[in-house]
Chain A
C-alpha cells in the first residue's frame, strides 16, 4: 500500500454513460498524475496537476475527459459519453519532486469496463 487510494476499484458501465473516478494522493504530495493503461501496455500519461493547477494534458485526453483537483488535494477524472475504447485501467499517482527527482507513488487503479 503506497498511501494513494482510488475509488472505485472497478466500474462497469454501459456505452454512453458518464463515469467519475476519484484519487486521494499522499497528503504532502503536491503533484498528482492520471494515466491510462490497457492490457499488455505501459501506463500512458493523461494529465497532471501541480497543486490545483492542471499543467499538462495529453492529446489522448479528448474533450469527453475532464480532470479536476479543486483544493489541491484529491482529484477526480470524469469521462462523459463513454465508449468501448475507454475500457482500461485508470491509474493515479502522486509525488513531491525534490532535486529534479520525481518518484511517483501509484494507487491500485480503477478498472473501467464499458459494455
Chain B
C-alpha cells in the first residue's frame, strides 16, 4: 500500500516558473525523502529531511516538513525543461521506506 499521497497528480508549467508539489502521509516517520524518476528509468534521490527539521535547501530545491500536519512540500525554483519527470515522496518509518503515488511534472520550454 502507498503511504504518501502527492498533490497534484500532474502539473504543467512554463520554463522559468516555480513548481510546488505536496505530499501527505499517514504514520509517524523518521525522515522524508524526495525522489525523481524520468520516464521508464530508475529513481534518483533528491533530498532528505529529518523529522526534527522544518525546511531544507539543495540548489533549486526547497523542501518543507510539517509533522503536525503529516505533510511535506517540494519547491523547484526557476524550472527547466530537464526537470520534466515524476516526483515521489518517500517516508521512512521503522526499517521501511514507503513511496507515494507521485506528481508528474511537465516543464514546457
Contact = CB atoms under 8 A, between A and B. Distances in A.
Contacts of B41: 108-109
A107 B101 contact: no
Given A104-B45, A106-B42, A106-B43, A42 B92 contact: no
B50 to A, nearest CB: 7
B31 interface: yes
B78 interface: no
Interface in B28-76: 30-31, 33, 35, 40-45, 48, 50
Contacts of B43: 43, 91, 93, 104, 106
A28 interface: no
Contact of B31 (A44, A93, A101): A101
Nearest to B6: A42
Interface residues on B, range: 20 to 34
A42 B2 contact: yes
A45 B50 contact: no
A108 B97 contact: no
B95 A55 contact: yes
A42 B42 contact: no
A103 B45 contact: yes
Nearest to A43: B99
Given A2-B44, A103-B45, A109-B42, A42 B88 contact: yes
25 contacts: A4-B42, A33-B97, A41-B2, A41-B101, A41-B102, A42-B2, A42-B4, A42-B88, A42-B90, A42-B100, A43-B88, A44-B99, A45-B96, A45-B99, A48-B95, A91-B42, A100-B30, A103-B48, A104-B43, A104-B45, A105-B45, A106-B42, A106-B43, A109-B41, A109-B42
